[in-house]
Amino acid sequence: MGTHRSGSMQRTASGVALAFLAAALVTGCSGGDGSAESASDGGSPSASASASPSETASVQPTASGGSTATPSGSESPLPDDWRPQEPTVLATGQKVPDDYEPATLEHPARNVPKPVMPEEAKNETEAGAQAFLNYRLAAQWYAFQTGDTSLISAATSPSCDRCTKQYERIEERFGGDSWMAGGYETAQILPNSFVKRASSEYTAPIQATSSGFLEIKNGRIDSRQLPYDSDKLLDVTLVYQNGAWVYITASPRGSL
């Protein structure tokens, strides 16, 4: 992996940061305390191709300043052989089967378990909302692993244009010689914070975590998102209608 010149590094990182800001997050974020990095020289993903399949409400200086634009050598905060940690149990409580194979540079993930929505996720309660968020994040991970965005799309309001565009980007990253790895996130509603607004939407601050992800093309890492963990980044908005929760969006903490 070649080292970018300073100007190229800044353009690449800025493009990724803008892409993250234009994306639509699981919990509402993918970016947060981590930073996005391009691993290709001259062929780095554009803002429309390299965005995180999750939305972000905040990008830290490392994502917008260009200092970590290349994951090779001493300039990288992660070693070249870093891989996102995949779950052994999904947030829904489903055990990941023993025959599951994480994606590698040679092949996409295999035998990926399909998330099942728990019954509790159908209740208009805080516990039901949490169970729904757990399912939606598992559905997002499934999309990262397989390119199949049908589950995450069904749990998301069609009014979220950024989400729709993001799912299209995930689909575009799969096929032939390209796929993704990682993408597992969690969102825990903070205690005593679940509020129903006058609009009938529910808004709650969350503790958001991500294992990070890789985009792989032609047998090499095309770009990657670093892990993050923050309880100060995002508020999630949901609505309960027709006996089911629907994800609306995630916003910077306190912006609603």
Mind listing the pLDDT tens digit for each residue in 163-199?
999 899 999 999 889 999 999 999 999 999 999 999 9
For 68-103, give the secondary structure using H, E and C.
Answer: CCCCCHHHCCCCCCCCCCCCCECCCCCECCCCCECC
pLDDT at 136: 97
- Checking if the pLDDT of 75 tops 80, the result is no
Residue pLDDT, tens place only, 113-129: 999 999 999 999 999 99
pLDDT at 256: 75
**Mean pLDDT score of the chain, rounded to an integer?**
76
Task: Grade residue 208 by pLDDT with cuts at 50, 70 and 90.
Answer: very high
Task: Grade residue 72 by pLDDT with cuts at 50, 70 and 90.
Answer: very low
Distance CA 87, CA 85 (A): 7
Which has more confidence, 11 or 61? 11
Average pLDDT over residues 138-152: 98
The enclosing H or E element of 62 equals: helix 61-65
Task: Report the share of the chain in percent with pLDDT over 90.
Answer: 63
Which residue type sits at 122?
Answer: K
pLDDT at 76: 52
Residue pLDDT, tens place only, 6-56: 333 333 332 222 233 223 343 333 333 333 444 333 332 222 222 333 433
Average pLDDT over residues 82-92: 95
Name the one residue in this structure whose structure tokens are 């300039």.
Answer: 75
- Checking if the pLDDT of 65 tops 80, the result is no
Sequence-distant (6+) residues with CB within 8 A of 209 are 185, 186, 227, 228, 229, 230
DSSP at 115: P
